[in-house]
Amino acid sequence: MKHILSTLCLSLCTICMAAQTNITPEALRSLDSQPASAADRAISNAIQNNSLSNMAKQNNNPSAQDTYFSIDIRNKGISDQKSSGRCWLFTGLNVLRHAAAKKMNHEGLMFSQVYLFFYDQLEKSNLFLQAIIDTRKQPLESQKVQWLMKNALSDGGTYTGVADLVSKYGVVPSDVKPETYVSNATSEFNTHLERKLREIAINIREKSAAGASQKQLEQYKMEQMKTIYHMLTLAYGQPVKEFTWAPRDEKGKYKSEPRKYTPQEFYKEWCQDAGNLQTDYIMLMNDPSREYNKVYEIDMDRHMYNGHNWLYLNLDIKDLEKCAIASLRDSVQMYFSCDVGKYLNKSNGLLDPNNFDYESLLGTKFGMTKKQRIQTLDSGSSHAMTLMAVDLDKDGNATKWKVENSWGPSYGHNGYLIMTEDWFREYMFRVVVNKKYIPEDIMKLTTQKPIMLPAWDPMFSPEE
């Protein structure tokens, strides 16, 4: 009876503790009631003096040894975004250069990222200031105005930004417009550029409150954009207007007579095989937290004021994979983005949930689904890369994938990352596929009216 009463009292105490709103001294004693075992003490000592990822790493993961791909679109040359958040731009241009390199038989071709990045920052600055004018009647404390002020400028972006920028400004080879120190390490300069934009923004609101018309505010904005343009030229150099160029062979000899191009002429002549980046491609998404087979649009998620918002079709992962495989079978690479930091073995470039055993190390289970990780902000797309290879089993199903990264040739597997199928399904989010590789029944879904989502939806931060 005494044992039963003791057990009952302990149970009641546990119930009482569970119902408390604060950690009381009694609750704290209950939390601290379990004595540490010898194993716990050993693990605690190790954790306090070492990296968790190094301790949890599975050194004998067999997937790390498998680098064969049944469909592999090879590239020559790995780009490096260095200390910048321009993965979206590197990825978009890497996909585009593959099509151009095939046309001109120039495998070593690289496009200049800094050329387009100049215009990206210029367009984003105008987008921000015009949005401030458009929202001038809203309270400064409103969610939209606060979001604008917080996100005045970023070096991150999405595929739609690549498509709009390339279509408007064209492209130039990297040897025509090389990187600068600032383009490779953007954060310091961006801090000052953002501060200037916010200063202009608050002046716009104050002028509006004093009675200035929209026309007067837009005139003021364009005057201030001269300062923004000047700052950008100081950091990234004057934009290329015209250049002389011809493809070279591996020994550096010209394959044809050099000729003059504008960036737009160069794009039209050498990149036409890629098709129209704005109209020929569809962004496919796998987001189980939202309804499948629906089109979604992200408000204000664009790079230009007159550009295109981020628009995508949300699909079951199996349908998305079929489209991606069809593209790779035809030797066409794709813009791809994922949550790259999850379970990445940095030494060999393998992305695999079996790379690390954090559960055994920390004595608990991590059981959230992909949907739950999205809903709790534990996971989301963070980085864009070029999807270029897949390994298929005898039934045509993917077993692993490979991407070209933009972190330099020494990172991962010679500059590439390899994803197991398990990882791909859990941590990939979007891929941009040419319409011709998308089945007719799925293409029909793209004609529906998009569901508009707010700009501050946490799932849709820029890819960096």
Q: Which of the residues are catalytic?
A: 87, 383, 405
Q: What is the largest CA-CA distance in the chain?
A: 101
Pick from 263, 49, 96: nearest CA to 176: 263
SS3 of residue 333 by DSSP:
coil
* C-beta atoms surrounding 13 within 10 Å: 13
Fill in the DSSP letter of residue 338.
Answer: E
Provide the b/e sequence for 114-147 (b: ≥16 CB within 10 Å). bbbbbbbbbbbbbbbbbbbbebbeeeeeeebbeb
Pick from 75, 136, 114, 3: nearest CA to 414: 75
Spatial separation of the C-alpha atoms in residues 332 and 388, rounded to whole Å? 8
What DSSP element (H or E) covers 38? helix 38-47
Spatial separation of the C-alpha atoms in residues 230 and 381, rounded to whole Å? 33
**CA 248: distance to chain centroid?**
33
What DSSP element (H or E) covers 4? helix 2-18
- 288-292, Cβ contacts within 8 angstroms, sequence gap of 24 or more: 288/369, 288/370, 288/371, 288/374, 289/371, 289/374, 289/375, 289/459, 290/314, 292/316
HSE toward the beta carbon, residue 393, CA cutoff 13 A: 7
What DSSP element (H or E) covers 149? helix 143-150
